[in-house]
Chains A and B, each alone.
Chain A
Amino acid sequence: MKTPTLAAPERDPQARRRATGVLLGVLVLWPMLQLAEFRPAALFESGNLKVMGGFLSAFLPPASSVEFLGLLLKATLETLAMATAGIALAFVIATPLALAMTHSLSVSRIGPGPGRWRGEAFRHGARLLLTLLRAVPELVWALLFVRALGLGPAAGVLALAITYGGMLGKVYAEILESSDTRPGRALLEAGSGRIAALAYGLLPGAAQELASYTVYRWECAVRASVVMGFVGAGGLGQLMDQSMKMLNGGEASTILLTFLLLVLLADALSAALRRLLA
């Protein structure tokens, strides 16, 4: 084979590194748990159990009056619309930034060739922009936009688009880097453009992951739009807010059951998309 190399060591050379990693993990985690007042036993003290039980018992039976179900349907559609529109806008923001940022579509890294530093700077710029977009929680954006646009789902859509755009972009870029990058790279090495290399080399291998992450984010957006509803961005959250304020546990539990259905729906959608792209 190649020139005679040093003999392989007797022991696994990575053993010490792994042990250090485990030790560091414990050292970091322990103070975190202390800081976060992590005392699971407190949940099961008799006083606490009674309080929680009382809170939960008010949730039964779930409200099922026709009038409330009508309101619920309208709010659900509003939430779905908010989440879907938010994710669609987020996708539009995320895709170009992810393609700009991902290493697996970089032509200048081959070699490395001309424009390497410019490409590197461009990628860092895209990464920074994505970080800024997702650093501010969607709730804060929603509070801001509710002041600008008034009460209603429009504020929620914008808030979702910005924060989720940042998340989608970062994860898209990383999925494209962690799936098999050789087909895309081989195409770039044969003079193909970046869009073509993406479509012929990377997407066939990464489409499933990308689709399931996008649907998962849509599911998160449904939940997030509920939280934003509490600050006046409409939908199920606003309805939930009203029910809680009126101490109407039955309505709250019907709304929670609706969430469950929505999450199940997202799960089925994701599974179907994965099957389609398999």
Chain B
Amino acid sequence: MSLSLDGIGLVHPNGQRALQRVTLAAAGGERVAIIGPSGAGKTTLLRVAAASLRPSEGRLQALAVNPWQLSARALRRLRARIGVVHQAPPIPPRLRVVTAVLAGRLGAWSAGKALASLLYPADIAGAREVLARLDLADRLFERCDRLSGGQLQRVGIARVLYQGPELLLADEPVSALDPALADAAVGQLIAQSEASGATLVASLHAVDLALKWFPRIGGMREGVVMFDVPAREVTRAMLHELYATEGAVLPTQGNDPSALAPLQTLAQVVPIARPGCR
């Protein structure tokens, strides 16, 4: 198993419980989308999987080891093999795009190479190649504070593509993108997983996007995994129960008809138009 959570629970230091007996496993190369209302614990789940948050209970295996039993050095090497796309890209505004992307390999580079790359970028071609996949190659030498929110989010994705991780975790990776770009960006994450054999676990707000690209869907609500089934077995009733607290309308990409194409089976049963919703 590339990622395995077994009975994972997590209580934040303020006493708030974020995860409750979460069990979820993904084999090498598998692609899973996590959906659910906001506050469901999706981000916490991904942070636990990324060895950034230590679970309060349960057993965790990431890339076949328990991160919290490793020595500091081994844990660092493990983290370098896990890539995380953050919802808010953690990129300083003064950094140039090329530097922000190359930072993806800092886990693999020596400190000397990292510092030298600040003087002259160590791998311009590599950065340009991943940016081109996200349609941003022309922004290579621009500063990140000149980018729009959506462009910056794609730079964050490009950084992780450049990292080339074995376990790829994406937390709402396309929340700032319009439907067409979001579709393309998720497509690139899928393509990366297919090409490198990386396991991909992504939390997504738009149900249609998840159903279109991911063979397996996990539904979370209030820190609990409500279902974990192949995409074709997801029914309207399951979705409505999942999003019960958010009203009768399911969150989708918005009213862009092209994003609904794969939803043939759901199109009649799910009221989809919800403009302004990501």
Residues of chain A at the chain B interface (Cβ within 8 Å): 1-3, 107-108, 110-115, 180, 182-183, 185-187, 189-193, 195-197, 199-202, 204-205, 207, 278
Contacts and interface: CB of A to CB of B under 8 A. Distances in A.
Contact of B103 (A107, A113, A187, A195): A187
B245 A200 contact: no
A189 B51 CA distance: 8
Given A113-B75, A180-B92, A189 B118 contact: no
Interface of B: 16, 37-39, 50-54, 68, 70-72, 75-84, 86, 88, 90-95, 99, 103-104, 106-109, 111, 114-115, 118, 163, 222, 245
Contacts of B104: 190
Given A183-B90, A186-B86, A192 B37 contact: no
Given A193-B106, A193-B111, A196-B114, A110 B52 contact: yes
Contacts of A1: 37-39, 245
Contacts of B106: 187, 190-193, 196-197, 200
A59 B83 CA distance: 69
Nearest to A189: B52
Contacts of B52: 110-111, 189
A197 to B, nearest CB: 7
B20 to A, nearest CB: 11
Contacts of B79: 189-191
Contacts of B99: 200
Contacts of B86: 186
Nearest to A2: B39
Given A110-B52, A111-B52, A191 B77 contact: yes
Contacts of B88: 182
A205 B100 CA distance: 13
A177 to B, nearest CB: 15
Contacts of A202: 92
A78 B109 CA distance: 44
A195 B245 CA distance: 45
**B92, B95, B103 interface centre (most CB from chain A within 10 Å):** B92
Given A2-B16, A113-B54, 9 more contacts: A1-B39, A1-B245, A112-B54, A114-B68, A187-B106, A189-B79, A191-B82, A192-B114, A204-B94
8 contacts: A111-B68, A112-B54, A190-B83, A191-B76, A191-B108, A192-B114, A193-B114, A200-B99
Contacts of A115: 72
Nearest to A277: B94
A171 B253 CA distance: 46
B72 A183 contact: no
Nearest to B96: A204
Contacts of B77: 191
Nearest to A179: B92
Nearest to A180: B92
Nearest first, the 5 A-B pairs at minimum CB distance are A191-B107, A191-B80, A192-B106, A186-B90, A191-B79
A182 to B, nearest CB: 4
A195 B111 contact: yes
A79 B78 CA distance: 52
Nearest to B88: A182
Given A186-B86, A190-B107, A201-B92, A114 B114 contact: no
A200 B94 contact: no
Given A107-B76, A113-B54, A199-B115, A186 B84 contact: yes
Contact of B95 (A107, A191, A204, A278): A204
A189 B84 contact: yes
Contacts of A110: 52
Contacts of A204: 92-95
A185 to B, nearest CB: 7
